[in-house]
Structure formats: structure tokens, C-alpha cells
């Protein structure tokens, strides 16, 4: 929440909503990602899913892959466009192309 928010009450309601267990499960299911809450992964049965269990377990020892000068730029560009592909608003191929071109432009500007 922005410190200068004029309606902090509504901001808190929104924050509580998007960080709730129900919303986390809905987002994880829709976006095909692991939930950020262990309790949600358990509720979704991911711990017992033969395909997903190794990924859930890996969260116990995983480390962020972001390192170096350009990886953050690349990650942000892909994070910005991939949800549109998941929602069917753009093809995955077009999303990947746009993210790559955008990241490369930003990286070239940094040189």
C-alpha cells in the first residue's frame, strides 16, 4: 500500500483479499504456478501429486536464480507478458517474442 493512499481501509481489504488462502489457490490453479503458502499447496494436494511433489519439496532448499546484471530485467519482461498468454489474450509464441524483444531493448539501453 502506498504510504500516501487516501483510503487505507479499502487498500487493506484488497491486500487481505489478494493474499488470502482462497485467492492464492485460485491464482496458483489459474496461472499453473506453485502457491506461495505451504498450507495452500497442502490443501491443493500438491504434496501428494507425483508430478508436483518434487517441486513443492524443492521449495525447502531452493534459492533465487536472479543474479547478474540482466536477469532481473529479463524476469520482469516475462512476468509482465506471460499472464496474458495464460489468459488466452495472446499466443504463447507471441508472448515469448514480445518479452524477449522488450528485454533485449532494455538490456541494449544499459550498455
pTM of the full structure: 0.50
pLDDT at 69 over 90: no
pLDDT at 5 over 90: no
User: SS3 for the chain, per residue?
Assistant: CCCCCCCHHHHHHHHHHHCCHHHHHHHHHHHCCCCCCHHHHHHCCCCCCCCCHHHHHHCCCCCCCCCCCCHHHHHHHHHHHHHHHHCCCCCHHHHHHHHHHHHHHHHHHHC
Average pLDDT score, the chain: 89
At residue 65, the pLDDT reads: 67
Where is pLDDT greater, at 6 or 111?
A: 6
Binning pLDDT at 50, 70 and 90, where does residue 4 land? confident
pLDDT tens across 46-63, in order? Answer: 999 999 999 999 988 887
Amino acid at each position: 500500500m502506498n504510504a500516501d493512499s487516501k483510503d487505507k481501509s479499502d487498500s487493506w481489504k484488497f491486500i487481505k483479499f489478494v493474499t488470502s488462502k482462497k485467492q492464492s489457490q485460485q491464482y496458483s490453479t489459474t496461472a499453473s504456478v506453485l502457491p506461495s503458502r505451504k498450507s495452500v499447496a497442502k490443501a491443493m494436494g500438491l504434496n501428494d501429486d507425483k508430478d508436483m511433489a518434487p517441486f513443492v519439496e524443492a521449495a525447502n532448499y531452493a534459492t533465487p536464480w536472479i543474479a547478474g546484471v540482466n536477469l532481473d530485467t529479463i524476469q520482469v519482461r516475462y512476468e509482465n507478458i506471460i499472464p496474458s498468454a495464460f489468459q488466452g489474450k495472446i499466443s504463447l509464441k507471441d508472448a515469448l517474442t514480445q518479452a524477449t524483444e522488450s528485454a533485449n531493448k532494455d538490456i541494449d539501453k544499459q550498455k
